[in-house]
Amino acid sequence: METRALTRLKRKTRVEILWLYISSILSEGNSYAYDISRKINERYGFNPGRVLPYVVLGKMESEGLVRSYYAERRKYYALTDKGRQTYCLALEMLRELLQKLPETPCRESASDPKPA
């Protein structure tokens, strides 16, 4: 059973931080938008759509996180040093968040808590 809370979490950790997935792909080498979308779908199990990756890449480029160039009739993207540093800082921030969240409720009985 998927709750609305889980549905919102999936959206927040997929679409709204798509730049992290894009940075992950580009950290392995330069690529073009269609290939980035395909790799996100294969590796992370969700389809970012046809347009959204281009929008996010454009925003990333204007912020200096990626740079683009044309080769073989395609527009390729490369992660910049600033993009790599930002990606690493974001991963560290997420790791710290996960460490702070207790796993205790996940180990307890699946039944609803008893009233106090």
What pLDDT score was predicted for residue 115?
63
Three-state secondary structure call for residue 79: strand
pLDDT < 70 stretches in the chain: 108-116
What pLDDT score was predicted for residue 113?
58
Q: CATH says 16-95 is which class?
A: mainly alpha
Domain ranges across the chain: 16-95
pLDDT digits 0-9 by tens, 34-66:
999 999 999 999 999 999 999 999 999 999 999
Q: How far apart are CA 92 and CA 86, in angstroms?
A: 10
Q: How far apart are CA 33 and CA 6, in angstroms?
A: 28
What pLDDT score was predicted for residue 12?
86
Tokens standing for residue 109? 């009985």
Tokens standing for residue 105? 């409720």
Give the pTM.
0.85
Q: How many helices (H) and strands (E) does the chain have?
A: 6, 3
